[in-house]
Amino acid sequence: MSSTLFKVGKYYHYRFRLAGGARHQRTTHEVNHKRAHAIMSKAYADAVLLASGMQLVPTLEELIEQWEELRAPIASKSHRRGIDVFKRRHLHGLGQLLISDLGTEIIEKARNAHLATRKPATANHWLRKLKLLVNWAVKRKIIPRLPWDVPMLPVQKIPRATLPTQTTDDWLAEIDKATTRSPSVAIAVRLMYGLGLRESEAASACWEWIDWERRTFTPGITKGKEAVPVPMPRWLVAYLAPQRRPQGLIAPGKQGRALPDGFARYAMRRANAATSLTGITPHRLRGTCATLMSEEGTPIQTIQAIMRHKDPKTTMGYLEVNMDVASRAQDRIEDKIYSGRKMGNTRQTGPSGA
């Protein structure tokens, strides 16, 4: 059951015979010995699996092709876009390897190649995409488990922008100025801010999903396929009421179609510049919605349901720390401790005056 690699003309060919089986002989169409040997090794491994009645183990590139054929049609736009970018830019030499051969050392070397030109946080994102693909193969029982054990890199969390409440009116007014020729964009931006919708969810939002009597909005097309009624703030109800329709898109684009990807970028850049803000993006509007609810005492489980997250850890990642809120809480705690009593111009140094 050995295999042989030999040259015919300028190309390498391979030959092997399985026990009790027919002889296999093919050309690799390769002039490079190392690449030809890899092709022969895969062909031999595939033949062994087929002979034992098992599925063939694909290379990473072949697995991506299978994912795009079978999963992409039902996956979210962000997943499809992420896998496409991973395939085109970030394989780092892994494409021709069998997924069963993607061991810990190989993955660590590929990640180091990624880190040579990119930040650690993007390396973690890269590893998540790779896990998504190979775990899909595990679920399909192509391989028994992930063939590597590579932890995520520890990354220092950087505070992300949230839209300050005291600037919200001015910022939305600038959005309106920047969208005079496309007012649907201004509507969609308010849906993202007021309901915590993703950009794609705001673009696909329909009038029939609003319950005006109960003042709720139930997203009908979401990333996680959840249909959870979301309470609508009074200001958003008042804003939408004069434009109310029985059905159809709330914020239609040209010719009544959904707004395209990235529809809010230009308007948000204009509004950010006009109000001296940085980092306010569609995703950070969603984060702002979650953070504001948290600051007002909304339980994390409720915010998780409104954000439609499967894992509360994902929700926690959306919340930003507001030290002003912490300071006000400290003041309220102090008032409870001292019951408003003061010692001259300063309070006592402790509950018992110690």
Chain segment 172-213, per-residue pLDDT in tens:
999 999 999 999 999 999 999 999 999 989 999 999 999 999
Res. 1: pLDDT tops 60: no
The whole-model pTM stands at: 0.66
Between residues 245 and 312, which one has the greater pLDDT?
A: 245
Confidence (pLDDT) at 86: 95
- Residue 297 pairs with which residues in a beta bridge? none
Do 207 and 250 form a contact (C-beta atoms < 8 A)? Answer: yes
DSSP labels, 231-277 = EPPHHHHHHHGGG--SSSBSS--GGGPPPPTTTTHHHHHHHHHHTT-
Task: List CB contacts of 291: < 8 A, sequence separation 6 or more.
Answer: 162, 318, 319, 320, 322
CB atoms inside a 10 Å sphere around CB 101: 16
23: helix, strand or coil: strand
Query: In which band, very low, low, confident or very high, does the pLDDT at 13 lie, cut at 50, 70 and 90?
Result: very high
**pLDDT score, position 223:** 57
Give buried/exposed letters for 145-170 (b at 16+ CB in 10 A, else e): ebbbebeeeeeeeeebbbbeeeeeee
With cut-offs at 50, 70 and 90, classify the pLDDT of residue 24.
Answer: confident
Cα 129 from Cα 135, distance rounded (Å): 10
The three-state secondary structure class of 339 is coil
Mean pLDDT check: name the lowest of 16-25, 280-289, 294-303.
16-25
Lowest mean pLDDT among 80-89, 143-152, 297-306: 297-306
Instruction: Report the mean per-residue pLDDT for the chain.
Output: 86
Residue 222 clears pLDDT 70, i.e. is over it: no
Structural tokens at position 77: 């736009």
Residue 352 has pLDDT above 60, yes or no: no
More confidently predicted of 238 and 1 = 238
In a 3-state reduction of DSSP, which class is residue 203?
A: helix
How would residue 42 be classed by pLDDT, with cut points 50, 70 and 90? Answer: confident
- Render pLDDT for 57-98 as a digit per residue (tens, 0 to 9): 889 999 999 999 999 888 877 788 899 999 999 999 999 998
CB atoms within 10 A of CB 230: 18
Confidence of residue 354 (pLDDT cuts 50, 70, 90): very low
SS3 category, 62: helix
What is the maximal distance between C-alpha atoms in the chain? Answer: 100
* pLDDT tens per residue across span 324-347: 666 666 777 767 776 655 544 444
Higher-confidence residue of 158 and 26: namely 26
Of the given ranges (118-122, 125-129, 249-253, 285-289), which has the lowest mean pLDDT?
Answer: 118-122
The tally of CA atoms less than 13 A away on the side-chain side of residue 188 is 31
pLDDT at 319 over 80: no
pLDDT of residue 55: 67
| Average confidence (pLDDT) over 301-313 | 85
DSSP-assigned states of every residue in 280-317: --HHHHHHHHHHHHHHTT--HHHHHHHHT-SSHHHHHH
Tell me if residue 59 falls in helix, strand or coil: strand
